Amino acid sequence: MFDDVAPKYDVVNDVLSMGQTRRWRRVVVEAMDVKAGQRVLDLAAGTGTSSEPYADAGIDVIACDFSLGMLKVGKRRRPDIDFIAGDATRLPFADNTFDASTISFGLRNVNEPKKALAEMLRVTKAGGRLVIAEFSQPVVPLWRTMYTEYLMRALPAIAVKVSSNPDAYVYLAESIRAWPDQDHLAAWLQEAGWESVTYRNLSGGIVAVHRAQKPAGPAAGPATDPASGAKALANHTGPVAKLRRNITRPER
Ligand SMILES: C[S@@+](CC[C@H](N)C(=O)[O-])C[C@H]1O[C@@H](n2cnc3c(N)ncnc32)[C@H](O)[C@@H]1O
């Protein structure tokens, strides 16, 4: 699916978010708070739009994704960025490689998001940071209703006009509705071994930016074979992430 939308991915994003993605991305970079010379993993980096601010600031950013279509568009656009094919659930990196890790609008698409959280913990150095930007649940009921209408009715209709693969945007709307809310994702992070978990709502909760830290003690999380993720990538043609519809949400 991502291979299909890759050529117009960034333009369509700007249209459908009414320009909000730029502001959301700025908040993520601020939350990462990384410096030149540090090494950053941008997971599910797609065409590398989320990686660009780090590269521009002299940070050693690795843009990792399993869609070769997205990676090709990214490499053509930004040959200076290191694009690496890798599956979020079996990252092709050694333990404790990165000073900080981030994933923007990608965790929801990963088939086993909890595994991805554990893998990011494994490859991040002790004391290193994680920042996640993901669509979430608007907190004010009226705003939530208006947003749901936009997602389920307007967005697919606009996508028919601007995207080569409008079905991908029907999937987008459904996957956002099925995704856990802010507190639930925070609980997943803690379960995976991350600590100091906080989040900030953007655009009234349409997007949430979660921030967490890897414990400063001895390396946490299960060690896995760093080479294992690189192999199956070229063959990824499987169905889109199964929707997680049965998640219970805490009372507000
Ligand atoms: C909506 S795009 C986000 C791209 C980029 N981070 C951004 O902010 O524009 C989601 C990306 O997640 C990637 N993705 C989904 N599941 C993945 C997995 N298991 N491993 C690596 N990448 C994955 C897709 O290929 C796609 O490029």
User: For residue range 161-199, what is the model confidence (pLDDT) as tens digits?
Assistant: 777 777 877 888 888 889 999 999 999 999 999 999 999
Nearest residue (by CA) to ligand 1, atom 14, is 44
Q: Is the pLDDT of residue 238 over 50?
A: no
The CB of 66 under 6 Å from ligand 1? The reply is yes
Q: What is the pTM of this model?
A: 0.83
Q: Is there an atom of ligand 1 within 6 Å of 93 CB?
A: no
Q: Is residue 102 part of a domain?
A: yes
Task: Report the separation in Å between the CA atom of 251 and the middle of ligand 1, taken as the mean of its atom positions.
Answer: 30
| 250 in a structural domain | no
Mean pLDDT throughout 112-124? 98
- Ligand 1 in contact with 50 (CB < 6 A)? yes
> Which amino acid is it at 141?
P
pLDDT category at 1 given cuts 50, 70, 90 is low
Is residue 226 included in any domain, yes or no? no
Report if residue 170 sits inside a domain: no
Domain assignment of residue 22, yes or no: yes
Domain count, the chain: 1
Candidate of 26, 43, 65, 242 to mutate for ligand 1, largest count of ligand atoms within 8 Å of Cβ: 65
Which range marks the domain in which residue 52 is found? Answer: 2-137+179-216
The model's pLDDT over 126-154, given as tens digits with 9 standing for 90+, comes to: 999 999 999 999 999 999 999 888 888 88
Q: What CATH number is attached to the domain comprising 86?
A: 3.40.50.150
Distance in Å, CA 224 to ligand 1 centroid: 21
In a domain, 212, yes or no: yes
Average pLDDT in the 67-81 region? 95
Query: Tell me: the pLDDT tens digits for 75-113?
Result: 999 999 999 999 999 999 999 999 999 999 999 999 999
Q: How far is the CA of 247 from the centre of ligand 1 (A)?
A: 22
Q: Is residue 65 part of a domain?
A: yes
The verdict on residue 145 lying in a domain is no
Q: Is 208 in the pocket of ligand 1 (CB under 6 A)?
A: no
Q: What is the mean pLDDT of residues 28-33?
A: 97
